[in-house]
A and B are shown apart, each in its own frame.
Chain A
Amino acid sequence: KQEVTQIPAALSVPEGENLVLNCSFTDSAIYNLQWFRQDPGKGLTSLLLIQSSQREQTSGRLNASLDKSSGRSTLYIAASQPGDSATYLCAVLNAGGTSYGKLTFGQGTILTVHP
């Protein structure tokens, strides 16, 4: 059974800092990994999707890496801003069979960027 863990559970940083969020998963047979952002009381916004054959994806100030063999992914946020404050969720899609439909999520990292 796939399990996804995110560290830290919460993070508070001053504006302008570069930061790293960590995600680990127990079953390396994944098809892809997605990072999502969730604002309070809102749905999920996809930030980056990394296919299993890829090592990293970049979008603006965000960079996500994937090391499938070790079961790890990191989300790097450069020059953090107060508007980045949200919960960040990591999710993996397992490869094979009916599991293609099932994203397994971590519990999220609550990020607060203070001015």
Chain B
Amino acid sequence: GAGVSQTPSNKVTEKGKYVELRCDPISGHTALYWYRQSLGQGPEFLIYFQGTGAADDSGLPNDRFFAVRPEGSVSTLKIQRTERGDSAVYLCASSLAGDSTYEQYFGPGTRLTVT
């Protein structure tokens, strides 16, 4: 079946602009995760949704970052007043409730470049 998809695959924006990144999880997966990967680093956790609610948003770096999942499926990561330091690959993952392994399945990522 279809895996996790993310759009756009690449996004170039100017400093100070607002961006939205979209994630479509695997159908039926109730848990959804956002990570950020800077060049040469491992991914870092941003936020985790269980259904529509954010179960853990401790990784969001500041209040310019916000994520929603209004219907418990698609999620949007929103970044206001972008800064050059926000440039990174933003990865989304999903997992199946009731799967005792809690295995996370990752999308291809969105590469964000802030100029």
Binding site for B on A (CB under 8 A): 4, 31-32, 34, 36, 41-46, 49, 51, 89, 91, 93, 98-108
Task: Identify 16 new A-B residue pairs, CB closer than 8 A, beyond the known A31-B102, A106-B42.
Answer: A34-B103, A43-B108, A44-B43, A49-B103, A51-B100, A51-B101, A89-B42, A89-B43, A91-B42, A101-B33, A101-B48, A102-B45, A102-B56, A103-B45, A104-B45, A108-B42
Whether a CB of chain A sits under 8 angstroms from the CB of B80 is: no
| Contact of A46 with B103 in the complex, beta carbons under 8 Å | yes
A41–B105 alpha-carbon span in the complex (Å)? 17
Please provide the chain B residues from 21 to 78 with a CB less than 8 Å away from any CB of chain A in the complex. 31, 33, 35, 40-45, 48, 50, 55-56, 58-59
Whether a CB of chain A sits under 8 angstroms from the CB of B115 is: no
Binding site for A on B (CB under 8 A): 31, 33, 35, 40-45, 48, 50, 55-56, 58-59, 91, 93, 100-109, 111
**Inter-chain contacts of A44 with B (CB < 8 A):** 43, 91, 93, 106
Q: How far is the CB of B37 from chain A (nearest CB, A)?
A: 8
5 closest residue pairs by CB, A with B: A101-B48, A105-B42, A44-B106, A43-B108, A98-B56
Evaluate whether A107 and B42 lie within 8 angstroms (CB atoms) in the complex, with A93-B102, A101-B48 already known: yes
| Contact of A46 with B101 in the complex, beta carbons under 8 Å | no
Evaluate whether A100 and B109 lie within 8 angstroms (CB atoms) in the complex, with A43-B91, A105-B42, A106-B42 already known: no
**Inter-chain contacts of B40 with A (CB < 8 A):** 107
Q: How far is the CB of A46 from chain B (nearest CB, A)?
A: 7
A49–B109 alpha-carbon span in the complex (Å)? 21
| Contact of A43 with B107 in the complex, beta carbons under 8 Å | yes
**Inter-chain contacts of B56 with A (CB < 8 A):** 98-99, 101-102
- 13 A–B pairs (Cβ distance < 8 Å), ordered by A: A32-B101, A32-B103, A43-B91, A43-B106, A89-B43, A91-B42, A93-B102, A101-B31, A101-B56, A103-B45, A103-B93, A105-B35, A107-B40
